[in-house]
Chain A
Amino acid sequence: MSEDRDKLLQVMNSLEADYKSGKISAEKYKYFRSKYEDKLNSIDAMEATKRIRSMQGKSTTKTKKRSKKPTNQKKKQEQDLVQKYIINPKKDDAKYNKKNKSSMSGGAFTAITLLILVIAFTAGVAYGIFNLDSETMASTGVVATVEDTAFPEVVSVVNTTNNHYNYTSNDNYTHTDTTNDDNDDKNQVETTTETTTTTTTTTTTDTSDSSQSSSSSDSSSSSDSSGSQSSSSSESSDSSSDSGSSNSNE
C-alpha cells in the first residue's frame, strides 16, 4: 500500500515538473493532478480504515472463510467509516450530502406546513366570525316581552261608610241617614263613615277623623254624580250643619 502511495507521489512530482517546464498545459495538469489526488486520498482512506479496524480490535487480514468479493453491505460500512472519521474531498462530501437527502424533499415538507397553517388560520377566522355573530345576536335580538313595570295601574279599593247622623234636639228629633255608596266605577269603590251626634241643645260630637272627613268630602263629591240617594245625604249633611250652627247661635 505504501509502495503505491510512493509511486503515486513520484508520478505527481514528475507531473508538476512537466507543468513547470511547460511540457503540458495547465488544463491537463489540473486534470491529472486531481485524478492523482483522488487516488492518493483513497489510498489514505484505506490505510485509515485499516488503522481504525485494528483499533477496534478487528483483524485486518482477510480470513479464509471470507469471500474474496466484499458484499455491498461491507462496502457501505467501509464507506461510512471513511465518511465518519476522515476528512473527505469536496466531491465525496457532496455525494454524501446528496445521499442524506431523503425521499421526502424540503419542498413537500414546506407545502404540508403551509397547508396546516392555512387550515388553522381558516378555522380560527371561521370560529371567530361564528362567535362574533352569536354574541351580536344575543345582545341585539329581542327574546321576550316584559310586562312588569314600576308604575303599575293601581286599582284602589276604599271602604266608605257614610252619614250616620244621630241628631237629638229639644224636640227629641232623631235623624239617621245611612248611605252606602256603591259606585259602579271600576277603579274606585268607596265607603265613608261619618258620625255626628248632637245631644240636647248645643253639644255636637264629631267622631270622624280627618282622613274620614276628607274621604267623606270625596264621597259627597263623587256621589253627586252617582245618584239621587247620595245627593240626599249631602243635603242632610248640610241640614245637620245648619241645625248645628243654629243651635250654637241659640
Chain B
Amino acid sequence: MKGKIIKGSIIAIILIIFLVSSVSAENNTDDETKVVTLSKGGLVINYPSDWGYSQATSNYSIMSISKLDSIDSAGVGQVNINFEKKPIEGDFYTFVNSTYKPMQYDASFKLVSSGESVIGDREALEYIYTSNDHGVEREHKAVWFEKGGQAYVLLYSAPIDKFEQNLYVFDYILSDIQIT
C-alpha cells in the first residue's frame, strides 16, 4: 500500500513539474521581450523583438528595422531606424555638412541641433532635424561615423509625438553596436 502511494506521488510530482514548467515557459514567451541580433554590412546590432527587419527604399541602405506596432496599413514603418553608408567625397566633415547644407534652403526641413558624438571608440557626428512631408511632421536623429572611406549613418526617424518615447531603443543600439 505504501509502495503504491510513493509511486503514485512520484508520478504526480513529475507530471506537475512538467505542466508547471511548460505553462511558465509559455507565459515567458508571451510577456518577455527578447533581444534579436542582426548582422549585415559590417554592423552587428541587437534590438528588441517588438521591432522587425524592414526593407528600405534608399539605395544606400545596409539594413533597417521598424517598430512593429508603428507599421501602417500600407506596410510602411513610421518608427524606423535605417543604417546607411555612402562613399565619402572629400573630407568626412565636409561631406556630412554638405548633406545638411541644402536643408537650410528647404522649408520642409528644420535643423534642431548638431554636435559631436561617439560610437564605440569612433568619433561621430550627430544631427537632429525635423521634416515635413505632406503635412506629416517627423523628427530624425542621425549619427554619422567614418569607416574605410565610407560615411556610415544611423538614422532614427519617428513622428514627432512618438520620437521621444522610442528614442531609448536607438540609444541602446548605439551603445551596443559592434562595428566589424
Contacts and interface: CB of A to CB of B under 8 A. Distances in A.
Contacts of B107: 157
Contacts of A113: 11
Contact of A150 (B34, B53, B84, B109): B84
Interface string B4-32: 10010001001100100010010001000
A135 interface: yes
Interface residues of A, number: 32
Contacts of B18: 116, 119-120, 123
Interface string B28-54: 010000101110000000000100111
A144 B54 CA distance: 5
Contacts of B168: none
A131 interface: yes
Nearest to B101: A154
Contacts, number: 122
A146 B53 contact: no
Contacts of B4: 102, 104
A154 B109 CA distance: 8
Contacts of B84: 149-151
B14 to A, nearest CB: 6
A139 B66 contact: no
Could you say which of A104, A131, A139, A149 has the most chain B C-beta atoms within 10 Å of its C-beta? A149
B106 interface: yes
A150 B153 contact: yes
Contact of B60 (A102, A131, A140, A149): A149
Contacts of B144: 150
A112 B11 contact: yes
A157 B105 contact: yes
A147 B106 contact: no
A144 B155 contact: no
Contacts of A9: none
Interface of A: 102, 104, 109, 112-113, 116, 119-120, 123, 127, 131, 135, 138-152, 154-158
